[in-house]
Structure 1
Amino acid sequence: MAGLASQINSVIQYILGMGAIVMLPIILFIVGLCFRMKPSEAFKSALTVGVGFVGIFAIFGILTNNVGPAAQAMVKHTGINLPAADLGWPALSAITWGLPIAPFVIPMTIVINIIMLIIGQTRTVDVDMWNYWHFALAGTLVYYITDNFLLGLVAAALITIIVFKLADWAAPMGEKYFGLEGISLPTVSSITFWPIGLIGNWLLDKIPGINKIKIDPKSIQKKFGVFGEPMMIGLILGILLGLLAGYDVKGLLNIGVNLAAVMLLLPRMTRVLLEGLMPISQSVQEFLTKKFPNRKDLFIGLDIAVAIGNSSIISTALLLTPIAVALAFILPGNHTLPLADLANLAVFASMIVLACKGNIFRALIISIPCIIGDLYISTAMASTITKMARNVAYKGAMHSVVTSFLDGGNPLRYWIVKIFQLDPIALVLILIVGGLVWWIYRATKKDVLSANE
């Protein structure tokens, strides 16, 4: 039995090793065939989606390769000496997939998704199987802390259900403000902050003076002309980041031009991806409309990467980078040294930006307390993440403490972990947070649900 389990795990690891840019086109091709697309059309659409993701990840690589070293230079200049190094989401996802719960999460998530679709409790058809690691991470954390495998699976199932509901909720505004027609974004590291963004935006609406401030790419471009275009904003923000990192003139120009390229090219790659996705999305909706006349509102669930080409998101993320470093330095009791995940702040900020309808000023204000929470939570989870990393022989954790600034510091995962530990505060928060989320849902329902009308 153990041998069979090992073989199954090896097969799953091999498939996952292909990465999102290979897995997703294969899955979408199969989805297209299942929903009666011609094989040639399904193949072309799926391949176009894959090409779009190649472009997005390549450009995101430019962002990472420039923001990462600049952030490390800032850390060096500020003299930060914190014991828990941020290993970033790529390493954390690889660690998660290498641990026992992960292989069980894939079939479980598919079953949960199907059941929720059948009983009408979700509108999201989550085809982004590679990103199921987000659900697996929650289960793995609970497993390591409680030493109970079954509780780990229950935790993974719980966060899956919550994320599908949040993705459904945000999708109409995503269609309008990100141009993602027929798409939802069930990525834990971003969708967690959707209700927080809505609550923060609602509160800022009530503050005189503050509620009149609007800073977004359109208003900047209108006021500053050519210097307000996304490409120019990227250049300016890149140079500012370089100055904070202590770069010389060559370094300043290099990071400036690279971030200008990111601002210009990411939206274009997103359009390529959507060009491939639309035929598949339409086929799914046409098929389901025939079979289930009352289900005309389904979304295809994809990685948040399809949204981060938005200029407001990238601008917010770049502005948050030095802020995160400064907060890590000044917050008492913080042990997290933010490094690898600093380049992933676009994912963190995306749903907050959406809740603020692209208003960078508001998104920054709301993001700062969220970053503070992430730093403290990632500090609290450092010992568990280090243990996980050592169990898969991750070199960076063998002689030092590691954590993950954003995914390790995610408040939804942490709350679920504390619930399964029967922490009294976490249990009381079920009622408080549940009531707060229900209230903001009712308070913003008309605005959110009418966004795509």
Structure 2
Amino acid sequence: MAALNWILSLGAAVMLPIIIFVFGLIMGAGLSKSFRSGVTIGIGFTGINLVINLLTSELGPAAQAMTKRLGLNLKIIDIGWPAMSSISWAWVAAGLMIPIVLIINFIMLSLKLTKTMDVDIWNFWQFSFIGAAVTATSGSVVMGIVAASVAAIIALLLADYTQPYVENYFGMPGISFPHLTALGFLPIVIPLNWLLNHIPGINRLNANPETIRKKFGIFGEPMAMGLIIGIALGILGGLDAASILKLGIAMAAVMYLMPKMVAVLMEGLIPISEAAREFMAKHFGDRQIFIGLDAAVSLGEPSVIAVGLLLVPITIFLAIILPGNQILPFADLAVIPFLVCLITAMSKGNVIHSLIIGTVVMALVLLFATNLSPAETKMALTAGVTIPEGASQIGNLDRANFITWIIVKLFSLF
């Protein structure tokens, strides 16, 4: 566990280049190309993390100001996914989940049950979270391992299902997202998306970055959209003029820089993806294989960030009016773009449809987060984490998706 924890502590920006380098060698890409791809991907992920950290650091104070201004007094504190990932890795069987998920992935690939090779090992913590939550509620470690394994199987199947959207909308051939944050609401998103496309009037509503750019010129460009949204968030938070302007520029920077960081990452991925296709064609005919990555690579699409930012005040407003909600959204508000990236892709970039579906999703996120909080609080106490002062329970928005919630509830019955 000490060795495993050291490897995990390196983070995705170091782990993924090592994995890609080894994967490239296995696929026959050669030492030089594999090394270059691995380092380039590491640079891309580092850049993405820097932009996400900018988003988090600037958005957090604005969200906190909004919640104080609205007088929210909710007993469950949103501690954010970084803290929850550490708690999940502290689960007694967390170390086993890496080899278990890799074996499941290998078996499914061998039996042609999936085309996705999940190299996003860092995010296996999402499966460990499910196992830890089931263990906390049922008392059974074995049942927790089974639940986590089922979640991994579902993630691989849904990654295959959504791969065409990743390829066609985000322009990422051979890439899929076995990432439960992005996949977790698909059973709800799919029918909602179909419904919006068939309701007269609503099905004609369409606004995407391209049409907005054509209609509003410079004010429709991603950086201008980020500036406007940032200023609006600052005003809603009651910030002073200087802070409002700083937030506006920060959000403009996020909208402008994120696509460039994703482009760097894709520069490293393309040679490995091509080598994988050649390897599969040589050894397994024309069989496809997808490289499973963190949904963070989708944040280069302006509509994803735009929808995510617009949902911040909507989520805070929902926290006030939603019956049954007890969680104070804060640390994980910056995760909203991850939650809506596939919603945006399935809506073909339609910001209006994405916002409607996203609003429904965020209402459910708050309710699921409230419902999962007792298990998460117990997990934290077991891991030796101190509950923040003023909170009776802890929770987070990142893990409060439909698939995670339903698996935890079902397996906690046994």
Taking structure 2 as the reference length, what is the TM-score of the superposition?
0.98
Cross-structure match for 1:400: 391
Q: Distance in 1 between matches of 2:387 and 2:313?
A: 25
Q: How far apart are 1:51 and its partner, in Å?
A: 0.1
Residue 301 of structure 1 pairs with residue 292 of structure 2 = yes
Q: Distance in 2 between matches of 1:141 and 1:62?
A: 31
Residue 382 of structure 1 pairs with residue 373 of structure 2 = yes
Q: Distance in 1 between matches of 2:364 and 2:282?
A: 46
8 Å CA contact 2:377–2:395 kept in 1: the answer is no
SS in 2 for 1:300: strand
SS in 2 for 1:85: strand
8 Å CA contact 2:138–2:413 kept in 1: the answer is no
Cross-structure match for 2:70: 78
Match of residue 407, structure 2, among 405, 416, 426? 416
Match of residue 207, structure 1, among 196, 199, 206? 199
8 Å CA contact 1:145–1:384 kept in 2: the answer is yes
Residues 139-188 of structure 1, C-alpha deviation per residue, up to 9 Å, x if partnerless? Answer: 11111111111111110110111111111011111111111111001110
Q: How does 1:51-450 map to 2 (within 5 A)?
A: 51-295=43-287, 297-397=288-388, 400-422=391-413
8 Å CA contact 1:390–1:397 kept in 2: the answer is no
SS in 1 for 2:229: helix
SS in 2 for 1:37: coil
Residues 376-429 of structure 1, C-alpha deviation per residue, up to 9 Å, x if partnerless? Answer: 111111111111112222234587334333234222111011211349xxxxxx
Residues 418-447 of structure 1, C-alpha deviation per residue, up to 9 Å, x if partnerless? Answer: 211349xxxxxxxxxxxxxxxxxxxxxxxx
Q: Distance in 1 between matches of 2:142 and 2:14?
A: 31
Q: How far apart are 1:333 and its partner, in Å?
A: 2.0
Q: How far apart are 1:336 and its partner, in Å?
A: 0.5
**Residue type matched to 2:374 in 1?**
S
8 Å CA contact 1:113–1:126 kept in 2: the answer is yes
8 Å CA contact 2:130–2:148 kept in 1: the answer is yes
Residues 256-281 of structure 1, C-alpha deviation per residue, up to 9 Å, x if partnerless? Answer: 11111110110011000000011111
**Residue type matched to 1:138 in 2?**
I
**Residue type matched to 2:153 in 1?**
I
Q: Distance in 1 between matches of 2:205 and 2:100?
A: 45
SS in 1 for 2:291: strand
Q: How far apart are 1:110 and its partner, in Å?
A: 0.3
Q: Distance in 2 between matches of 1:221 and 1:131?
A: 35
Q: Distance in 1 between matches of 2:170 and 2:261?
A: 13
Q: How far apart are 1:130 and its partner, in Å?
A: 0.5
8 Å CA contact 1:312–1:353 kept in 2: the answer is yes
Percent identity over the alignment?
44
Q: Distance in 1 between matches of 2:10 and 2:206?
A: 43
Q: Distance in 2 between matches of 1:279 and 1:294?
A: 18
CA RMSD of aligned residues (A): 1.3
8 Å CA contact 1:348–1:406 kept in 2: the answer is no
Match of residue 23, structure 1, among 3, 11, 15? 15
**Please, which runs of 5 or more residues in structure 1 have no aligned partner?**
1-8, 424-453
**Please, which runs of 5 or more residues in structure 2 have no aligned partner?**
none
How many residue pairs match? The answer is 414
8 Å CA contact 2:184–2:404 kept in 1: the answer is no
SS in 2 for 1:308: helix
Cross-structure match for 1:431: none
SS in 2 for 1:177: helix
8 Å CA contact 1:221–1:229 kept in 2: the answer is yes
Q: How far apart are 1:195 and its partner, in Å?
A: 4.0
Q: Distance in 2 between matches of 1:133 and 1:402?
A: 21
SS in 1 for 2:397: coil
Taking structure 1 as the reference length, what is the TM-score of the superposition?
0.89
8 Å CA contact 2:135–2:141 kept in 1: the answer is yes
Q: Distance in 2 between matches of 1:300 and 1:402?
A: 38
8 Å CA contact 1:86–1:402 kept in 2: the answer is no
8 Å CA contact 2:104–2:153 kept in 1: the answer is yes
Q: Distance in 2 between matches of 1:378 and 1:197?
A: 18
Q: Distance in 2 between matches of 1:187 and 1:396?
A: 28
SS in 1 for 2:45: helix
